[in-house]
Amino acid sequence: MARHTGPTRKLSRRIGVDLGHKTNSAKTAQRLAIPPGAHGRKGGNRKLSDYGQQLKEKQKVKWAYGVMEKQFRRYYEMALKNPSSTGAELLRILESRLDNVVYRLRFAPTRKAARQMVSHGNVRVNEAKLSIPSYLVKEGDTISLSDTAQKIPVVAELLKDKELTIPSWLERKAAVGLVKQTPSRDDVDVDINEQLIVEHYSR
């Protein structure tokens, strides 16, 4: 199962957007405007070509959702089956990933932490243990946490927090979540121009 194993805060700095990889967003924001590398301050002012803008947008979405290129390309090909709204369909697929749903239900502080919980077998879908982060949830699915996961300190704190915002397409009661409906374009919490991604793959 491929995944990015390098420094994650550098990815946010390269894109210039907080990708939510760390819980301390204030610390990330301090250097967000400075690209990584020895010439970061100087290199950050270069004007991007059309191709550069398209590539940057694609990389931003890949890194935000923790998806590698081969899998991302497969999601794009799946989205092509909806030619009238390929970009929106791509985002719907990404939002439907099990690791993202665990994060969006606020069972985990970041998508990376949610992926780890799923990979370690601490998440159940329809009461069956499922350790595949890329599993695409469907309307009516229930997502719950194992007893072990609920005892993790950061998870326990999230479960006690009644002020957390849950997307309208999901519902959460204690350590159990419900997929009420499929997510729409408006449900995406990352600032994305999906048309640039479609243009990139249409070249």
- Of 39-43, 146-150, 191-195, the range with the highest mean pLDDT is 146-150
Does the pLDDT at position 90 exceed 70?
yes
> Taking a C-beta distance cutoff of 8 angstroms, is the pair 54, 196 a contact?
yes
Which residue, chain included where needed, has tokens 């695409």? Answer: 136
Q: Which fold has domain 98-182?
A: 3.10.290
Return the domain boundaries, the chain. Answer: 1-47, 50-96+187-203, 98-182
User: Residue 203's closest CA among 91, 58, 47?
Assistant: 58
3-state secondary structure string across 173-200: ECCEEEECCCCCHHHCCCCCCHHHHHHH
Q: What pLDDT score does 48 carry?
A: 80
For 168-180, write each residue's pLDDT tens digit. Answer: 999 999 999 999 9
Contact indicator for 61, 19 with CB cutoff of 8 Å: no
- Is the predicted pLDDT of residue 119 greater than 70, yes or no? yes
Domain 98-182 in the same topology as domain 50-96+187-203: no
d(CA 1, CA 195): 28
**What is the pTM for the complete model shown?**
0.79
The per-residue pLDDT for 139 is 97
According to CATH, the superfamily of the domain at 50-96+187-203 is Ribosomal protein S4/S9, N-terminal domain (1.10.1050.10)
Q: How confident is the model at residue 97 (pLDDT cuts 50, 70, 90)?
A: very high
* Pair of tokens at residue 77: 């090909």
Helices (H), the chain: 9-15, 25-30, 40-43, 50-65, 69-79, 86-95, 98-104, 111-119, 147-150, 153-160, 194-201
Where is 123: in which H helix or E strand?
strand 123-125
Q: 71 φ, ψ to 5°?
A: -70, -40
Q: How many residues does the chain have?
A: 203
Q: How far apart are CA 63 and CA 54, in angstroms?
A: 14
CA dihedral 114→97→67→157, nearest 10 degrees, is -20
| Token pair of 57 as six digits | 């947008």
More confident residue, 35 or 67: 67
